[in-house]
Structures are given as structure tokens and as C-alpha cells.
Structure 1
Amino acid sequence: MRVWKWIGLAGILAGVATGAAVARDERVRRHYEPAEVRERLHARHDEAVAREAAEMTRAPQDS
């Protein structure tokens, strides 16, 4: 019976720690200005398009 109490306590602490991490990430995310978010998204998109274009132009390796 005592083991189950410790397992329950560990579960509660894990939930609290997860909630704290989510709250911290949310606070950090909310500090971005809309223009900054838009700029970062465009940069990520441009990187993804460039990476895909590089993969498409790479010559296939025939051995």
C-alpha cells in the first residue's frame, strides 16, 4: 500500500512539473511581437523551401 502512495505522489509531481514547463513556454511565446512571429515563420518557410529545392536538384546516385 505504501508503494502506491509514492507512485501517486510521483505522478502528481510530474504533472506539476509539466504544467510549470508549459506555463513558462507560454510566457516566452507571448513576448513575441506579431511582426517578429511573422518574420520568423517566413524565414523557416524559406529555409524549408531551399532545403527541398536542394534535395530535388541533387543528382541521383546510380551505382
Structure 2
Amino acid sequence: MRNAWKWLGLAGAVGVAAGGVVVARDQRQRNAYSADDVRERLHRRHGQAHAPADDAGGDQR
């Protein structure tokens, strides 16, 4: 039973290390954008969110 706890602890440590690798990779991808790139993307997303919807039924007031 003692070996099982050792293996379980080792598996937990490997899982934490793998999670750290995933977080670090994600952070590098986010840092790859320049400030101008981020600003342009935010403006584009804002414009898409506030664009008038295509409604075939017309105004329903």
C-alpha cells in the first residue's frame, strides 16, 4: 500500500507540472499580440456586438 501512495503522489506532481505547462503556453499566446492588435480586435468585436440584427419581420413595436 505504501508504494501506491508514492505513485499517487508522483502522478499528482506530474499533473500539476502539466497544468503549469498549459498555462504558460496560453500566456505566451496572449502576450504575442501587440497593443494595437488587441485594440483592433476589441473594436471589431464591439462593432459586431452592436451591429443591427438582420430581421426579416421588420420592426415589431
Give the TM-score normalised by structure 1. Answer: 0.66
Equivalents in 2 of 1:14, 1:47: separation in Å?
A: 39
Between structure 1 and structure 2, the one with the greater Rg is 2
Equivalences, count = 55
- Deviation, structure 1 residue 46: 2.9
Q: Which runs of 5+ in 1 are unaligned?
A: none
Name the residue aligned to 1:12: 13
If each structure's helix is expressed as a fraction of its own residues, which one has the higher value?
1
Q: CA RMSD in A?
A: 2.0
Percent of aligned pairs sharing the same letter: 50
Q: Report runs of 4+ in structure 1 exceeding 4 Å deviation.
A: none
Query: For 1:4 and 1:45, how far apart are their aligned partners in 2?
Result: 52
Unaligned runs of 5+ in 2: none
Q: Report the Cα distance in structure 2 between the residues aligned to 1:36 and 1:44, rounded to whole angstroms.
A: 12
